Amino acid sequence: MFAPDHPLITTLYIVASALFIVGLKMLNRAATARRGNLISGVGMLTAIVATCLLAGMKFHWILLGAVVGSAIGAVAASAVKMTAMPEMVGLFNGFGGLASMLVAWAEFHKWRAEGWAAYHQLLGPGAPDSPRFTAAAIAFTALVGAVTFSGSVVAFLKLAEWITGRPILFRGQRLVNGLIVLTVLAAAGLVTVRPEAPWAYGAFAVVMVVGLLLGVTSVIPIGGADMPVVISLLNSYSGVAAAAAGFIILNNGLIVAGSLVGASGLILTNIMCKAMNRSLGNVLFSGFGATESSGEAAAAQGEVKPISVEDAYYILEAARSVVFVPGYGMAVAQAQHVVRELGQLLEKNGAEVKYCIHPVAGRMPGHMNVLLAEANVPYEQLVEPGDVNPTIENVDVAIVIGANDVVNPAAREDPKSPLWGMPIINVDQARTCIVLKRSMRPGFAGVENPLFFKPNTRMLFGDAKASVSALVAEFKAE
């Protein structure tokens, strides 16, 4: 068994931390993301090896957990459908929070069973002398871990549509949430002030149980359209909980890994909020999408113009610039591969092809990027709305594949729309806009889309994969 301050242990944790940082940096580009994920995995393996060396003769329990966890993760990752990837990411966030909560629970139990003097000695060199600091760290870890776990479960249920994706609101909800917050903060305060008191165990149980309740009540009022923000925020929570757990057990590798996840999740949350032109407070507390519409927003009016595959082919065949705008509908239809094939055929026909991805398209950050990377779409062809909108009037054809809210012109045109002010992709200003949808149903936000009635819009109804495959067949037949 090695001491926590042994040079080998310190070196291994430094190496693991460096690999985490390098891997995270490489995730910034689709071309290097897989390699970055692998490097981060090697970093985690290095951290596990260091922890096994610390554990001494009890290392076999750590190895058993690592093997079982790796097996479950491998099976889940290989079996999950791409449409269910947001739900899986939500669960991963939740399990990270649950792990941190259980660490806090175990450490508090160990403290109470051994006494402060024995527990302080078990922590080893560098342990804080103040029991209140340690108690505060334990209570904080348990609270954030509990909120992350239960909140992530609710997000999973909403994304999987096992419960309604709309905000779940009730009278006096903010008052109830306020009382829950006051209760859990009071319990955490009691644990911090008197951790050795006989009733401290009960107060700690309140922190965990009410923390789980707080996670539920804080996520149920958030609508499905805001799920990308919620996923990234919960990801940040899981990192914060892990870092706090690292402070409890004095594990530098866990502190660094948790800090990276927490900071990157918070940065991503900020990016998502900016993409919707909304504050985080508005996302968390506004109950966006609670009704089918605001009740005052202008109703979408006009004539829908359906188009056949053959007519769509003639439009595309004459196009010299085409922009694909993917959305969740592309994920549902698993159409990314045929979309890539159609893009290649358009390029051979002399068209300039781009894929414009809105930051909140899909149901998690980067959802569309993952799908198109899976289809080997060149990274250089992936562009953001800011790259396309200034010259969208010169685009011959914009093809919207299952996207809805991120192309809704009501965000520009109707101040009473729930989407008002949200930056969108201005596909309605292209020379021709072809929308691939199964029906006229609104998107995940539940807001009607006037794009469908624009004079330059043509609706190609049907399964996206079947429709694009038919277009591919038309090009190949020629």
Q: What is the mean pLDDT of residues 331-345?
A: 94
Confidence of residue 444 (pLDDT cuts 50, 70, 90): low
462 and 373 share one domain: yes
* Per-residue model confidence (pLDDT) at position 246: 93
Q: Which candidate in 405, 414, 428, 463 is catalytic?
A: 405
Residues 351 and 259 in one domain: no
Domain span at residue 360 reads 309-477
430 pLDDT above the threshold of 50: yes
The residue length of the chain stands at: 478
- Any idea of the CA torsion for 238, 244, 246, 250, to the nearest 10 degrees? 180
User: CB-based contacts of 438: which residues, under 8 Å, 6+ apart?
Assistant: 329, 461, 462, 463, 464
Q: Per mean pLDDT, which range of 182-186, 292-296, 437-441 is the poorest?
A: 292-296
Q: Name 326's bridge partners.
A: 401, 402
Would you say residue 11 lies in a domain?
no
The per-residue pLDDT of the chain, averaged, comes to 89
Q: Does 273 share its domain with 314?
A: no
Band of pLDDT at residue 287, cut at 50, 70 and 90? low
Asked whether residue 255 falls in the same domain as residue 344, the answer is no
Query: What is the band of 99 on the pLDDT scale with cuts at 50, 70, 90?
Result: very high
* pLDDT tens column, 45-93: 999 999 999 887 778 888 899 999 999 999 988 888 877 888 898 899 9
146 and 211 inside one domain: yes
Does residue 5 have an active-site annotation? no
What pLDDT, on a 0 to 100 scale, did the predictor assign at position 278? 78
- CATH number of the domain bearing residue 364: 3.40.50.1220
Region 334-344 average pLDDT = 96
How many Å apart are CA 221 and CA 387, to the nearest integer?
Answer: 34
For the segment 210-224, the average pLDDT, to the nearest whole number, is 91
Does 265 share its domain with 168? yes
Residue 127 lies in a domain: yes
Classify residue 35: in a domain, yes or no.
Answer: no
- Domain co-membership, 266 together with 388: no
Domain assignment of residue 421, yes or no? yes
285, 320, 342: which is the final residue of a domain? 285
Residue 50 lies in a domain: no
pLDDT confidence band for 427 (50 / 70 / 90): very high
Residues 155 and 227 in one domain: yes
**Residue 99, phi-psi category: left (phi > 0), alpha (psi -120 to 50), beta (remainder):** alpha
| Residue 2 to residues 9, 119, 335, Cα–Cα distance (Å) | 8, 18, 53
Structural domain count, the chain: 2
Residue where a domain stops, chosen among 285, 317, 343: 285
Residue 171 in any domain: the answer is yes
Rounded to whole angstroms, the Cα distance separating 331 from 334 reads 5
Q: Taking residues 145-164, report their average pLDDT.
A: 92
pTM of the model: 0.84
Look at residues 250, 285, 320 and tell me which one is the last residue of a structural domain.
285
**Residue that wins the pLDDT comparison between 441 and 430:** 430
